[in-house]
Amino acid sequence: MAEKKSCMKEFTKGLLRENPTMRLVLGTCPTLAVTTSVVNAIGMGLAATVVLICSNVAISALRKVIPSKVRIPAYIVIIASFVTIVQMIVKAFLPVLDESLGIFLPLIVVNCIILGRAEAFASKNPVLLSAADGLGMGLGFTAALFCMGAVREILGAGTFLAGIKDLVNIGGFNGFDFSDTLANIGLAPITIFILPAGGFFFFGIIMALTNKIASGKGLPKAELHGCEHCPMAASCSRSTLKEDAQ
């Protein structure tokens, strides 16, 4: 029973308390790049979630076998293997999504959320807890992408879930288009929201809202710490140079 409670705690922490994007400020590159539409956001989030779960499980299972000195290269090889599998599946069954996500799908290999959870959690905890951690962090990441994508697509393109049939076929449903309705009342989509400037603007707003909600629940504010708090600090050249300088 204690194990189940622990698994639930590790799962739920990634949804709000330690949301990788909105609280820990990780994975901001794909967050800003692919959230011009909800479909892209969901596709990227689910792909990252699958890789997170699989890599966490594999690294946790091998944590006593992988030598400490080569753990980072070993983690990257494991992560890259799962990313390759996910990319091949997406290419085979969702080619439009693969084309839309472009280089950001294979770049999941270097997503700091994946490597960060491998080093900070999976390498130190049992398989079940690591799987729960990967699932929670992945769904938290997906939720953040969905929120970003929904607002940016609605305000910037006048659509919602456009192209959803390329991700899942729901009786020919292919999203909503509000452009004609907006035109009838003399309005038009605000294009800046699907441009980088709009992405940064809304990213700041949604981070502020997330921290406000977390503060209302008594959770500590998310903070950006120095190098000593990074899971890669021991092997990072910047950290080493800083110590030498001191």
According to the model, what pLDDT value does residue 140 have?
Answer: 95
User: Which residues, in sequence order, are CB contacts of 47 under 8 Å at separation 6+?
Assistant: 86, 87, 90, 101, 105, 108
Over residues 137-154, the pLDDT tens digits come to 999 999 999 999 999 999
Cα separations (Å) of 241 from 72, 119, 225, 238?
19, 21, 18, 5
| Coil/strand/helix, residue 176 | strand
Q: What is the pTM of this model?
A: 0.84
Q: Quote the percentage of the chain above a pLDDT of 70.
A: 87
Average pLDDT of the chain to the nearest whole number:
85
According to the model, what pLDDT value does residue 150 have?
Answer: 93
- Residue 191 pLDDT greater than 60, yes or no: yes
Task: Please state which of the ranges 78-92, 160-174, 175-189, 225-239 shows the lowest mean pLDDT.
Answer: 225-239
Token reading at 187: 């309005």
Q: How many CB atoms lie within 10 A of CB 60?
A: 23
According to the model, what pLDDT value does residue 3 have?
Answer: 47
